[in-house]
Amino acid sequence: MPLQLDIASILLNGLQQGAIYALLGIGLTIILGTMEFLNLAHGALYLVGAYTGLIVFQETALTNGLLYSSGITTIGFEGGFLAALIVVPIVGFGVGLLMERFVAEPFYDRPETDQLLVTFGLALIVEETIKNVIGGNTFQSIAPQTIFGVNVSQPVNLPVVGLFPSWRLFIIVIAFVVIAATWLAIERTDFGLVVQAGTHDSEMVRILGIPINRSYSLVFALGAALAAFAGLIGASIQTLSPQIGTDQALLPAFLTIVVGGAGSVRGAIAGGLVLGLIISAMTQTYSQWAQIVLYLFVALMLVFRPEGLFGSGEVGE
Amino acid sequence: MSGDRSDGGTDVVPDGGTVTEGTAGGSGGSALAGLRDRDDFVVVAMAAALVVFPFLLIDVLGAIGEVIGISIGGYSGLPSLVLIYGIIVIGFNLLLGYTGLLSFGHAAFFGSAAYSAALFSQVVPSPILMVIVGTIVATLLAWPIGFVSIRRSGVYFAVLTLTFGQALYFYALGPGAWLTNGDNGFSGIEAHGLFVGAIPLDAQLIPVFDSYTVMYAFAAVVMLIAVWVANRIINSPYGLIFEALGENEERVEFVGLNVFRYKLMAFVISAVFAGVGGAMFVIHEQYIHPTTGLYWIQSGDFVIMTVLGGTGSLVGPVFGALVFEYVANVISGVTLPVVGSIGSLWRFVLGAVFVFIVWVFPRGIYGAFSDLGSRLLGGGSEESAAADGGEHE
């Protein structure tokens, strides 16, 4: 295969992986930036999204599951992944609200080591709950055959790139739609203004009389919904097991915001894409070294550009 | 990062039953004067605890288990395993509990020591030399990692240590497989020969009690040395600076001390303990794999043990190691009347207990007990008494 084709597929795969990292990173970074709360349970939210997606996908599939056995799917509508696309962010949002209220809030004024410790414990609990309730075994990815009536099971022939899995193409599109929507919500709405102001100086926002506590809940829930959504996307392209919460979500999310700059949404998107491209390029060339290069790259970033690509260098210290 | 966990600057030194108070800011002069006595006392009390520990863990709990019909006694290898993790978390606590730095990458030192000890055993299968070699490798590794990580604080420090640890893990799993045997790991690592002689490590020391093995004696001696060294550090002016760093880094800087140097030393010292533990782990388990040795969850386990047991006291974390390993190895095998088999639920229970402890008792199980003890003994405002350096019995 000629070199240019390799580069094109590296770029596309990098975009797709980078989109997942960006979704995770945005959630982590707005929570860290606004509330100065360090959430080691972010990977657990990814797991919640992935497993909720799995259950919804199975139960609303055409041929078996809850909907099928109750006779609803006779209308010929493939619920599967579409239903998961709607249900998963809602579940993530709800879990985020609960987490903010019962786990995060009591720890806002505690040392950040305590925040790390309690969310680390929470992550353990979620992971173990999934293991004991759903099972610790591996599940196949839940990519659908068709979505919106379009067949996505076959690769498409793209110019320059050549054959590329159409499902992955779909993922890139939908992930960037969500990222763009989040971006607009934070850049163009009043809610986003409060979040941005809170990132800079939450005390000042409170003094101005803005009910920042309500914003806190919303920010936390939004971050959780994004993480859950990332989990759903991840579940559609990778096998699923309870361990992936840390390896494929929590650690990449942290790496993403370190590269992008803590507290910056723009940074999370840029950082996610940079890391996605690195992973994609390394996987297609020296796959054994992919993870090592990723981690060392981040370590070097921390040493030589500690504030990240777009960060202020103050958040999280 | 401003960890104000060691409130008032008092730490309480446990010693198997009685409670004596450690030194702290308030009682600097008398503490230095009584240092030698206290040193001896801590080591002797620890030695006494180590003598009865396997008996309590295996024979007494085993007997109780027979009565109630649930096997809650430990097995013969468990006491050594608890001591090995205890050694590690005593060192880890010097970093987390005293200096206030939360590392999520100590598996790197544990694992590198374990691997180098395992490799060295193929040349000279001497347990003592294996520990020395493993510790040297861990120390040499800790220096550059600490040098880079210490530059950042808070979450960045935690993430940096984590990234180095993970890079090492993936190296051991993939490109470094020629050295580490990759995903297959090493098994059947044997330590015998020099120093401990031709006596097998699982040989019984005392005929009646099979829990007292040569391995246990070896681990107990190393544990005593570790406790002595850690106690020495904590009660030295050097250790007081570690503690001051945990309370207020800026103030230490304003006094004119080189904060970077002290933090780096705390990091390296804690890595030395992890290295000793890693080499001992390989000798004890005769097995090492990237997941048990280098994966970040192993670092997380050190964190859990330390916080469970209690930061800010010398051997508090050892209680955490005991609880952790006991739950992991004994409780996980228990079958309860109503709940049924505990099995893989143990980590769930542990996570829940961990969250509870962080939430309600930031100073851990040991801290909670010593608070309770001083409340019962002192009655009234023990908080202020503790701030003055504790009360004398």
For CA atoms B83, B106, A253, A199, the dihedral sign is positive
- Tell me, yes or no, if A305 comes closer than 8 A to chain B by beta carbon: no
Q: Which of A121, A132, A258 lies at the smallest CB-CB distance from B355?
A: A121
Return the pLDDT at A51.
95
Residue A313 has pLDDT above 70, yes or no: no
Return the pLDDT at B66.
84
Q: Which of A258, A289, A303 lies at the smallest CB-CB distance from B159?
A: A258
In this prediction, residue A271 has a pLDDT band, given cuts at 50, 70 and 90, of very high
> Which residues of chain B does A254 touch, with a Cβ-Cβ cutoff of 8 Å?
159, 162
Record: contact A117-B162, CB cut-off 8 A? no
- Tell me, yes or no, if A121 comes closer than 8 A to chain B by beta carbon: yes
Q: Which of A106, A125, A306 lies at the smallest CB-CB distance from B348?
A: A125
SS3 B258: coil
Record: contact A125-B355, CB cut-off 8 A? yes
- Tell me, yes or no, if A137 comes closer than 8 A to chain B by beta carbon: no
Token representation of residue B178: 């020629």
DSSP state letter for B73: P
Q: Which of B156, B171, B304 lies at the smallest CB-CB distance from A316?
A: B156
> Which residues of chain B does A38 touch, with a Cβ-Cβ cutoff of 8 Å?
155
Distance between CA atoms of A307 and A311, rounded to whole angstroms?
5
Q: Give the CA distances from residue A43 to residues A258, A273, A299, B123, in Å, rounded to whole numbers and listed in that order.
A: 16, 19, 21, 43
Query: pLDDT digits over A164-190, tens only?
Result: 888 888 889 999 999 999 989 888 888
Q: What is the pLDDT along chain B (393 residues), one digit of tens a residue?
A: 443 444 444 444 444 433 344 434 444 445 544 555 567 788 888 898 998 898 888 888 888 888 887 888 888 889 999 999 999 999 999 999 899 899 999 999 999 999 999 999 988 888 899 999 999 999 999 999 999 999 888 778 888 899 999 999 999 998 999 999 889 999 888 887 666 656 677 777 777 777 788 889 999 999 999 999 999 998 888 888 888 888 888 888 888 888 999 999 999 999 999 999 999 999 999 999 999 999 998 999 999 999 999 887 888 999 999 999 998 888 888 877 777 777 778 888 888 989 998 888 888 888 888 888 887 776 544 444 344 443 333
Query: pLDDT digits over A191-226, tens only?
Result: 888 777 777 777 777 788 777 777 888 889 999 999
B190 touches B283 (CB < 8 A) = no
> Which residues of chain A does B174 touch, with a Cβ-Cβ cutoff of 8 Å?
288-289, 291-292
Residue A90 has pLDDT above 70, yes or no: yes
A311 touches A261 (CB < 8 A) = yes
Token representation of residue A128: 């173990």
> Which residues of chain A does B1 touch, with a Cβ-Cβ cutoff of 8 Å?
111-113, 317
> Which residues of chain A does B155 touch, with a Cβ-Cβ cutoff of 8 Å?
32, 38, 112, 116, 262, 316-317
- Tell me, yes or no, if A298 comes closer than 8 A to chain B by beta carbon: yes
ipTM of the complex: 0.85
Query: pLDDT digits over A98-111, tens only?
Result: 999 999 988 888 88
- Tell me, yes or no, if A124 comes closer than 8 A to chain B by beta carbon: yes
Average per-residue pLDDT for chain A: 85
Return the pLDDT at A163.
78
- Tell me, yes or no, if A275 comes closer than 8 A to chain B by beta carbon: no
Return the pLDDT at A65.
66
Beta-strand runs (E) in A97-239: 146-147, 150-151, 155-158, 162-165
Q: Which of A125, A296, A306 lies at the smallest CB-CB distance from B352?
A: A125
B285 touches B78 (CB < 8 A) = no
Report percent pLDDT > 90 for chain B: 40
Return the pLDDT at A216.
84
DSSP per-residue letters across B273-293: HHHHHHHHHHHHHSEE-HHHH
Record: contact B5-A296, CB cut-off 8 A? no
Pairing of strands B287-288, B335-336: unpaired
Return the pLDDT at A146.
73
Nearest to B294 by CA among B384, B163, B147: B163
**Smallest Cα distance from A124 to chain B, Å:** 6
Token representation of residue B341: 């088999």
Stretch A77-103: mean pLDDT: 88
SS3 B337: coil
Q: Which of B3, B297, B351 lies at the smallest CB-CB distance from A125?
A: B351
Token representation of residue A316: 């999280």
Record: contact A302-B96, CB cut-off 8 A? no
One-letter amino acid of A91: V
Chosen for mutation from A28, A102, A295, A300 (greatest number of chain B CBs closer than 10 Å) is A295
First to last CA, chain A: 47
Q: Which of A106, A128, A251 lies at the smallest CB-CB distance from B351?
A: A128
Helix B316-329 vs helix B296-309: crossing angle, to nearest 10:
120
Return the pLDDT at A250.
92
Return the pLDDT at A63.
66
Pairing of strands A155-158, A150-151: unpaired
Return the pLDDT at B387.
40
Return the pLDDT at B9.
40
Q: Which of A131, A288, A295 lies at the smallest CB-CB distance from B163?
A: A295
Token representation of residue A189: 């709405």
**Smallest Cα distance from B337 to chain A, Å:** 19
> Which residues of chain B does A289 touch, with a Cβ-Cβ cutoff of 8 Å?
174-175
Residue A150 has pLDDT above 50, yes or no: yes
Distance between CA atoms of B355 and B326, rounded to whole angstroms?
18
A81 touches A142 (CB < 8 A) = yes
- Which H or E element spans position B13? strand B12-15
Token representation of residue B289: 């794999």
B81 touches B345 (CB < 8 A) = no
One-letter amino acid of A123: A
Q: Chains A, B: CB contacts under 8 A, how many?
A: 123
B280 touches B219 (CB < 8 A) = yes
Record: contact A303-B151, CB cut-off 8 A? yes
Record: contact B162-A288, CB cut-off 8 A? no
Q: Which of B152, B166, B359 lies at the smallest CB-CB distance from A118?
A: B359
CA B179, B185, B191: angle at the middle one, nearest 5? Answer: 85
Pairing of strands A146-147, A150-151: antiparallel
Distance between CA atoms of B78 and B70, rounded to whole angstroms?
18
CA atoms within a 13 Å half-sphere pointing along the CA-CB vector of B158: 24
CA B375, B379, B383: angle at the middle one, nearest 5? Answer: 60
Token representation of residue B382: 């023990």
Token representation of residue A17: 């992986």
B/e letters for B76-110, b = 16+ CB within 10 Å, e = fewer, are bbbbbbbbbbbbbbbbbbbbbbbbbbbbbbbbbbb
- Tell me, yes or no, if A313 comes closer than 8 A to chain B by beta carbon: no
Burial category of B392 from C-beta neighbours within 10 Å (exposed 0-12, middle 13-18, buried 19 and up) = exposed
Phi then psi for residue B83, to 5 deg, are -65, -40
Return the pLDDT at A314.
54
Which residues of chain B have a Cβ shorter than 8 Å from any chain A Cβ? 1-5, 96, 100, 102, 148, 151-156, 158-160, 162-164, 166-167, 170-171, 174-175, 296-297, 300, 303-304, 307, 344-345, 347-348, 350-352, 354-355, 358-359, 362
Nearest CA in chain B to A299: B160
Return the pLDDT at B287.
92
Token representation of residue A143: 């990519």
Number of H helices, E strands in chain B: 18, 6
Record: contact A317-B362, CB cut-off 8 A? no
Instruction: Assign residue A214 a region (left: φ > 0; alpha: ψ between -120 and 50; beta: otherwise).
Output: alpha
Q: Give the CA distances from residue B282 to residues A305, B112, B187, in Å, rounded to whole numbers and listed in that order.
A: 39, 11, 9
DSSP per-residue letters across B89-109: HHHHHIIIIII----S-THHH
Token representation of residue B158: 């935690």
SS3 B7: helix
**Smallest Cα distance from A275 to chain B, Å:** 14
Record: contact A116-B158, CB cut-off 8 A? yes
Phi then psi for residue B212, to 5 deg, are -90, 90
Residue A279 has pLDDT above 90, yes or no: yes
Token representation of residue B54: 């396997």
- Tell me, yes or no, if A316 comes closer than 8 A to chain B by beta carbon: yes
Query: pLDDT digits over A233-243, tens only?
Result: 999 998 999 98
Chosen for mutation from B103, B163, B327, B350 (greatest number of chain A CBs closer than 10 Å) is B163
Instruction: Give bridge partners of residue B12 from the DSSP assignment.
Output: B21
